[in-house]
Amino acid sequence: MVGKGNKPSMLASTPGLAPQPQVTFSDDNGRVTAVLPTGESVEVLLYGATVISWKDKNGDEKLWLSKAAKLDGSKAVRGGIPLVFPVFGTAPDHEQTSKLPQHGFARTSRWEFLGKSTSESTPASSTAADLSVKLDFGLSSAGLDSDAKSKWPYAFNLIYSVTLGRESLTTSLVVSNDDDKPFDVQVLLHTYLRVKDISSVSITGLGSATYIDKVGGVSPPQTQSASELTISGEVDRVYTPKDGASPTEVVPVTVVEGGKTKFTVVRDNLSNVVVWNPWVDKANGLGDFEPKDGYKNMLCIEPGSVSGWQTLEAGDAFEGAQTISFSY
C-alpha cells in the first residue's frame, strides 16, 4: 500500500515531459473540469455547456454563481456563463423564434463533450512555458429534445470552445446553418463576474456608446456621456460600443474595483455588450437568486450580437467570442 505522504502527484507524467493540464469528469459525467499545472481551473456543466467555475492559481473564484442555482439539469443555471441562443430574451414579433422560451434552448440542452487540446507559448516577460487548455462542446439539431425541435425546426450545428489560460478565459461559439433555408439568430455570452463590492466598481470602455435601457421598459436609444459607468441601482442596458481607430480594433470593457483593474473583456465579432445587475427589488423577485444581497458581489458583462439578427444562409456560419482577463 502506498502511504498518503508517498502518493504520486496527480500531475506526474512521462519522465522528461513537463506537467500537462488535467481534464477530469464528475462521477455522473455531467461536469468537465480542467486544471492547469499552475493551479488555475475551469468547470463546465454539460447541461447548457455552462461554465460554473473559473479560479485562479490561488483558488479565488472569478465568476458569481447563485447559491440556489440548479445544477441538476432541471432549469437554466443562475450564474457562471450561460449561453444565449438563438434568441435574446423573447421575440414574440419575430416569426422564427416567437415560440421559444426566454434566451432560447442552448442553455437548457445537454451538450456533448468533443475533446480537449493544449497549447504552449512563452510569454515575452518570462522564460517559462505558458500552458493553456481548450475544451470543445457540441450541440446540433439532432440532439435537441422534441419540444425545442418543434419550436425551432432548423438544421444547425454549434461548437462551443472554452479556453483556460494562466490569467484569462476565452469562450467562443461557432454557429453553422446545416439547413437548406436561411435562419436568423442572436447569441450572447451571459457572463456573471464576481466582485467584492459593487459600490466600488466602475466600468470603462462604454463612453460615447449608444444603448437601450430596459429597466422599466425598452427606452429609445441613448448615448452614454460619462466615460465611466457606476452601479447604484438596477441596470439592464444593451450597449453598442464604438470600435477603435481601425475597423479591426475593439475597445475592451474594463471592470475597475477600488481603483484597480479587475477584469478586461475583449469582444471578437460581437457588436453588443449587455450590462446587468438586478439590485434589490429584482433580486428579491428571482427565486433562484441567493443570497438576496448577492447583487452586491456580481456584475454581468455580456458580449453578444443581440441588437438585431444574424441571418445565416444555407451553409453559412457565424463565430463570436470573448476573452476575459483578470488582474491579481
* 94 catalytic residue (yes or no): no
Q: Which of 40, 43, 257, 302 is catalytic?
A: 302
Own/partner long-range contacts of 9-18 (Cβ < 8 Å, ≥24 apart):
11/37, 18/129, 18/131
Give pLDDT, residue 16.
Answer: 60
Give pLDDT, residue 10.
Answer: 44
In the structure grid, which three cell numbers stand for residue 105, read together? 434552448
In the structure grid, which three cell numbers stand for residue 89, read together? 430574451
- Is a pLDDT exceeding 50 seen at residue 11? no
pTM value is 0.92
Using omega within 30 degrees of 0 as the cis cutoff, is the peptide bond preceding 82 cis? no
- Is a pLDDT exceeding 50 seen at residue 127? no
Looking from the CA of 192 toward its CB, the CA atoms found within 13 Å total 25
What is the distance in angstroms between the CA of the first residue and the CA of the last residue of the chain? 41
Q: Which of 190, 228, 249, 290 is catalytic?
A: 190
Q: Which residue has the cell 428579491?
A: 284
Tens-digit pLDDT profile for residues 46-98 = 999 999 999 999 999 999 999 999 999 999 999 999 999 999 999 999 999 99
CA distance 14 to 311: 49
Point out the least confidently predicted range of 10-14, 140-144, 210-214, 239-243: 10-14
CA distance 249 to 242: 10
Domains assigned to the chain? 20-326 (2.70.98.10)
Whether residue 312 contacts residue 183, with contact meaning beta carbons closer than 8 Å, is answered with yes
Looking from the CA of 41 toward its CB, the CA atoms found within 13 Å total 17
78 assigned to a ligand binding site: yes
In the structure grid, which three cell numbers stand for residue 64, read together? 458569481
Cα three-residue angle 227-228-231, rounded to 5 degrees:
150
Whether residue 62 contacts residue 193, with contact meaning beta carbons closer than 8 Å, is answered with yes
Q: Beta strands of 56-182 (E only): which ranges? A: 83-84, 112-121, 130-140, 156-164, 168-177
Tens-digit pLDDT profile for residues 90-122 = 999 999 999 999 999 999 999 999 999 998 765
CA-based nearest residue to 276, from 104, 92, 78: 78
CA distance 42 to 236: 27
What pLDDT band is residue 18 in, cutting at 50, 70 and 90? confident
- Mean pLDDT to the nearest integer, 196-203: 98
- Please state, rounded to an integer, the average pLDDT across all residues of the chain: 92
194 assigned to a ligand binding site: no
CA distance 299 to 199: 11
Percent of the chain topping pLDDT 70: 91
310 assigned to a ligand binding site: no
Whether residue 309 contacts residue 94, with contact meaning beta carbons closer than 8 Å, is answered with yes
* 190 catalytic residue (yes or no): yes
